Chain A
Amino acid sequence: MKRVFSILMAVLISATCLGVAVSAENAADLVNAKAALDGVAKNKANTSAVYGKVTYNEIATYDQYLEANSKIANGKENVTVLADKVTKKTEGVKIEKGSKYKSNAGFNFKQVVYTDETDNVTFKFNMKKDGKYNIKVKYFTVKGKDINIVRDLKINGETPYTNVAQCTFTRNFVDNFVKKSDGKLGFHQDYLGNDIRPDQKEVFIWKESYINDYLGYNNDPLQFCFKKGENTLTFEAVKEPMVIGSIEIVPIKSVDSYETYLSKHKDAKKYSGDEKIMEAEFATDKTDKTLYPSADVSTASTSTYGKNTSAYTQSVNMTGGTNWQYMQQAISWTVADDVKPGFYSLNFKYRQNVNDGMRSPRRLYINNETPFKEAKALEFNYTADWAMYCPQKANGEECLVYLEPGYVITLETTLSKMGKFLQIANETLNEINEIYRQIIKITGTEPDQNRDYQLDELIPDEVKGLGKCAKVLQSIVDGIEKYTGESSSGLSTLNTLIRQMTKMTNDSDKIGKELSYFKTNVSSLGTWINSASYVPLQIDYISLSAPNSDIKEPEVGFFESLGYSVNRFISSFTVDYNAIGNDKAVDENDDETITVWLATGRDQFQIVRQLINNTYTAQTGYQVNLELVNVGAVLSAVVAGIGPDVVLDQATTEPVNFALRHAAQDLKKFKDDKGTAGSDWDQSFDEVLNRFYSETLTPFYFDSVGEGKEEDTGLYALPEKQDFQVMFYRTDVLAAEGIDIPKTWGELVTTITALNKKNLEFGMPVSTSLVANNGTNVFYSMLRQMGGDMFVSDKKSTDLQTDAAIKAFKLWTNYYVNYDLPLSYDFKTRFRTGEMPLAIDSFTIYNTLAVSAPEINGRWGYTLVPGNERTDSNGNKYIDHSTTVFNNCALIISSNNTNLDLSWKFLKWWTSTPTQASFGNQIESVLGASARYNTANLNAFEQLPWAAKEKNVLNDQLSWGKALPQIAGSYFIDRHINNAFRRVVYKDKDAKDTLYDYAQTINAEITKKRQEFGLPVLKEE
């Protein structure tokens, strides 16, 4: 019996404690009135979206280029191209005085060329003879979005080969150290004694860089052929502004051998004193803001600058990690003044415990020069614990390094020998994907098992191609095993694929049977290439010691290690993680301290904590008690009367839920707030609303009287993040098949037919049992494009019985009933293989694709979702591209709020442009580009590192954004529209009747809910 009781009790507890999600109610048609307030200029005629025919030119690979130009000898000229050689330029390019940009040693230019993030600039110069050269660029970094400067390079009007599509020029960042009482630089500490990760500060300087392979596949500077006579060189901007001082065409660079290096420093002595330690957390500069030092608490053996490793506080004690794994990232350290000139044994205490069986090579520079050949790649091996490594010859003999005070030691990511393997693997992958598409053109994605497709007769080259690819991959596997000396787990993926392809080429009847498994294997090859090109590495310290002397062991003893672990365990009970980062203990009972809850991750929490300390508290003097909680805890806490004052990152449905039950604060209370003059965040009420695209506020309006009057309508939250759908396309596949990108739903039908003929697919999101609004968002977009709406204007019932609604619903279901769109699919995989070259999905997928699918780099893009042709009041035709936009939001909890005014102040600060932009930038620097923050603040969004062209499309699409109002009973919308969809698509029921039935059901629930909350209801007719 007890069991039964406890089950019932479990039911009750879960029923009481779990999350929220209810009804909501929205205000009247504020939308139109608010359009005037709208901050974004809607320039719909001038869209940068892509439609119709697409072209894609296959560009030569670097190897093909070198082979084609193998007869051209290495050139010997030195040509310096300066600003006066500019022949063609776009609007934003400015020729400026060199003195405008602070010069560091060696960079003096009379004139410089400033190019903005969308500019193209062409230089012209003469060569005396044909020849192969390297290109060296001297440039100045100017304020942008803190990411690498990227340029597409063209020589004589053409892209010479693929590797120059994104020539990368790095920036220069330093740690914002604080000066300690003893005069030394150190880290800021909170009141508990924890080190706080230093902010990364950009220093604008002149830099010099060879044009290198941005993918890291080639370790030496790239070679370019120039013809005798006039040549041109064009930089097309992809990302960020840049000031070009000079472009130097220089003979191909070679690095000295170790012996030559020794002979250059014949007179230098070998160092013979004690070992000197350079702690890696004190770097001089780095190329990327993500290369901040961090706190390693996993082991006692991590060396901490001048203090003992404590299990109870965090010390910033090393640098690198998975942030330091992308190409072109470098960290530099400067040799201290007390170091005597001489030859040193240079050892790095490192750890690479991420990629099992793989290496994380680094290129060593001393004063920006690679000193000798062996330094081109220091091969850091996989190691579970800290280990030591020094530059060495292939036979293991150590290479000494000459150092003087002030010398700069730099480590830069490189792929070493893996580069070549990965390049070939990448090319092979593209080839295999092409073959796969040729096969499914004949067999379809679900081949008939019993049919012989006679592929060896229809596409003999492709069938043989599989065998060739298998051989190439085999040579890669052999090569890698020889290079790393072991067989890593990743290689088994390749082996499986090789076996399968060999089978398929030898016995083409089997191809049909193997196809779906083959696709999975191909997709894992892509994943492997991606992960193998990451070279994470942590550095604890750099040791300078006398050659052939003993150096400090990287490990600590067993008992010290055990003691540390035990202490760490105890500390997990005593340390208040919410307090980490506070400058002083937060007094929760202080009337001027508000409590803010955040339901995301610890990384986000720490960034918000730091932002609060550095700007909010620093400027206002008010303390904030920030707490990291579980999403579901908010409701129960509010019920129990221990809730927060402000909650961040809530679902779009929450504000109206809380408002209906009188627990959320109507922000209109603050509508007379004038803000503080001159402050960039403490603005007036109207200015605060103007931060967002007006539509995104729609779900947070709620009319508490229920007659749809504006004066009764309150605003219960401010948007934080936003999400909407765009249409992704594969340029190469569509161009190869001659398929157009559709502009309207009508054109889409033609496109789908064309795709189906080639056995390719179009993807449109469908609701799943877990994500109920995937599909309904598509429906809502169509509904708004047809001129319909979900609710009637006073929100007393749905508006789904209109012609527009029926038309939209029929259009939506028809794609699945008549054109067989897939009802369930994995977009990313199918997009990569190319079998789904066109699909609608959330724009945030962009980041994932950009980071995790490098093999299709430059072969895809996105554009507006298909639209519906409409006629405006003047009789002009236009295409309505409306898309559903939905938001996360921040709101003020009014029940037991200690200080409403300060809560509002905090909300203003949090949603302001500077705060949202810094949060977005910092979260990206911690979690990487795939975690790009989709802020709803329009100005902050502008400051995030989107490439200019991509951002324009997003702004275009957003200007068509339509948000679904929230009402009491909103939960019934997705539920029953999905039911209606499934009934029509699975059970072939009539669309009109079905929609009508479910609309009735939804209306009944809305009426019931409105009665529950004493709101006027629809009169029975």
Chain B
Amino acid sequence: MATLSSADKKAIRATDRKLLKKKFQNNWDCYLYMLPYGLIFFLFTVLPVLASIVLSFTYYNVLEAPTFIGLDNYRTLLASDDIFITAVKNTLEIAVITGPVGYIMCVMFSWLINELGPKTRAIMVTILYAPSISGAAYTIFGIMFSGDSYGWVNGTLINLGLINEPIQFMTDTDYMIWICMLVVIWMSLGTGFLSNVAGFRTIDRSQYEAGYVEGIRNRWQELWFITLPSMLPQLMFAAVMSITQSFSVGAVTTILFGNPSTDYAVHTILNHIEDYGNVRFEMGYACAIATVLFALMVASNEIIQRALRKVGQ
């Protein structure tokens, strides 16, 4: 193989630069359009992420300047932090159960709704989507599952004669994780669901006719071979949302079970970050946790994306 002389390399680099410049000159308006969001994205997303990665190698108590401590935070986190292992376990448990259930619900509900008439559809979408936009709507579960003997669930169970004394749903470790999952699933019909509903509407009707000619025999085949493949982008989007949602469960547990919850029974990675960042003020360590969570999310996202490409094959 012929090696390039340094002069050649220089020439190539110069051409590259020229090309880039040319490209930029041709598309300058596109860059201009991107600028406002690009700036915000860089300032408030890229920069903090980088900062957090850098801080994860330091000891930082928030009020005093950070000091570099190398991999200490990661060593402690992965080797000797029992609570972190609990948090990962809880997060994965919640993600593995609520993620797929939420996602399947998301697809199924949007498909079912798609079959309805336009007016009923609008109403149903509003009803199902409402919980996820109305902020802390899940606090209603705090009232439902109140440990008071007059709480809704406890009251009903006592009235039915199933229990004799109220169950402390919010503080008894036997029940907490299940309640948490229930709430997360209830909340899961979010943006992904909405994009799916829209996705169903964009499918070209003629495809179905073509499908019948080609020998589609029932609605399931229609769903699997035509509907789902044609809305792959929306499905992808919903999947990403579903993953991030189930990994970032945190506010729900804080509001309903307190942070930290009894014996860390529903302590998630996000709660762990809050605990270290806001309660103990070990921001460097909190950043290390955040970085690990970030890596976890990216990895599981990759896996899901690959799995989804198999739809319709």
Contact = CB atoms under 8 A, between A and B. Distances in A.
Contacts of B59: 1012
Contacts of B171: 768-769, 978, 982, 986
Contact of B294 (A4, A448, A661): A4
A13 B273 CA distance: 11
B220 interface: no
Nearest to B237: A3
A639 B62 contact: yes
A22 interface: yes
Interface string B8-28: 000000000000000000000
Most buried by A among B62, B241, B290: B62
A11 interface: yes
A705 interface: no
Given A4-B244, A449-B160, A15 B274 contact: yes
A449 B162 CA distance: 11
A12 B48 contact: yes
B229 interface: no
A662 B63 contact: yes
Given A21-B278, A661-B281, A769-B256, A4 B297 contact: yes
Nearest to A826: B148
Contacts of B164: 446
A657 B297 contact: no
B308 to A, nearest CB: 15
Contacts of B273: 11, 15
Interface stretch (B97-105, B107-115, B257-265): B257-265
Interface in A654-697: 657-658, 661-663
A983 interface: yes
Nearest to B146: A824
A504 to B, nearest CB: 16
Contacts of B255: 770
Interface string B166-202: 1010111110000000000000000000000000000
Nearest to B254: A769
Given A8-B293, A986-B168, A975 B260 contact: yes
A3 B168 CA distance: 36
Q: Is the interface of B mostly helix, strand, loop or mixed?
A: helix
A8 B294 contact: yes
B156 to A, nearest CB: 10
Given A9-B49, A22-B280, A639-B63, A769 B257 contact: yes
Given A22-B281, A638-B63, A982-B262, A516 B150 contact: yes
B53 to A, nearest CB: 10
Contacts of B241: 3
Given A15-B273, A662-B64, A825 B148 contact: yes
Contact of B263 (A18, A663, A983): A983
Interface string A755-787: 000000000000011101000000000000000
Interface in A1-30: 1-9, 11-16, 18-23
A661 B261 contact: no
Most buried by A among B171, B250, B277: B171
Nearest to A5: B45
A4 B301 CA distance: 9
A12 to B, nearest CB: 5
B46 interface: yes
Nearest to B259: A769
B65 to A, nearest CB: 11
A971 B279 contact: yes
B298 interface: yes
Interface in B63-96: 63-64
A770 B258 contact: yes
A658 B260 CA distance: 22
A22 B151 CA distance: 33
A640 B241 CA distance: 34
Contacts of A449: 159-161
A11 B281 contact: no
B170 A769 contact: yes
A502 interface: no
A769 B258 contact: yes
A967 to B, nearest CB: 13
Most buried by A among B149, B279, B283: B279
Given A638-B63, A824-B146, A16 B279 contact: no
Contacts of A975: 260
Interface string A817-843: 000101111100000000000000000
A8 B49 contact: yes
A532 interface: no
A768 B244 contact: no
A669 to B, nearest CB: 19
A658 B64 CA distance: 11
Nearest to B240: A3
B277 A824 contact: no
B275 to A, nearest CB: 9
Contacts of A807: none
B172 A4 contact: no
A859 interface: no
A7 B148 CA distance: 36
A824 B52 contact: no
Interface string A852-895: 00000000000000000000000000000000000000000001
B248 interface: yes
B132 to A, nearest CB: 15
A824 B248 contact: no
B61 to A, nearest CB: 6
A5 B290 CA distance: 11
Interface in B232-275: 240-241, 244, 247-248, 250, 255-258, 260-263, 270, 273-274
B158 interface: yes
B165 A820 contact: yes
Contacts of A23: 280-281
A1 B262 CA distance: 34
Nearest to B276: A15
A513 B171 CA distance: 28
A979 interface: yes
Nearest to A770: B258
B63 to A, nearest CB: 4
Contacts of A770: 255, 258
B257 to A, nearest CB: 5
B49 A5 contact: yes
Contacts of A43: none
B287 interface: yes
A445 B149 contact: yes
B172 A448 contact: no
A24 to B, nearest CB: 11
Contacts of A2: 41, 45
A635 interface: yes
Nearest to A986: B172
A493 to B, nearest CB: 18
A395 interface: no
A516 B155 contact: yes
23 contacts: A7-B248, A8-B297, A9-B45, A9-B48, A12-B287, A12-B290, A13-B44, A15-B273, A15-B290, A19-B278, A449-B160, A635-B62, A661-B62, A661-B281, A770-B258, A822-B149, A823-B166, A825-B149, A979-B262, A982-B263, A986-B172, A986-B174, A1012-B282
Given A4-B294, A445-B149, A662-B64, 9 more contacts: A9-B44, A9-B48, A22-B281, A446-B164, A768-B171, A769-B171, A825-B148, A971-B279, A979-B263
* Pairs A-B, 5 closest by C-beta atoms: A769-B258, A15-B277, A824-B147, A661-B63, A824-B148
Interface of A: 1-9, 11-16, 18-23, 445-446, 448-450, 513, 516, 519-520, 635, 638-639, 657-658, 661-663, 768-770, 772, 820, 822-826, 895, 971, 975, 978-979, 982-983, 986, 1009, 1012
Interface of B: 41, 44-46, 48-49, 51-52, 59, 61-64, 146-151, 155, 158-161, 164-166, 168, 170-174, 240-241, 244, 247-248, 250, 255-258, 260-263, 270, 273-274, 277-283, 286-287, 290, 293-294, 297-298, 301
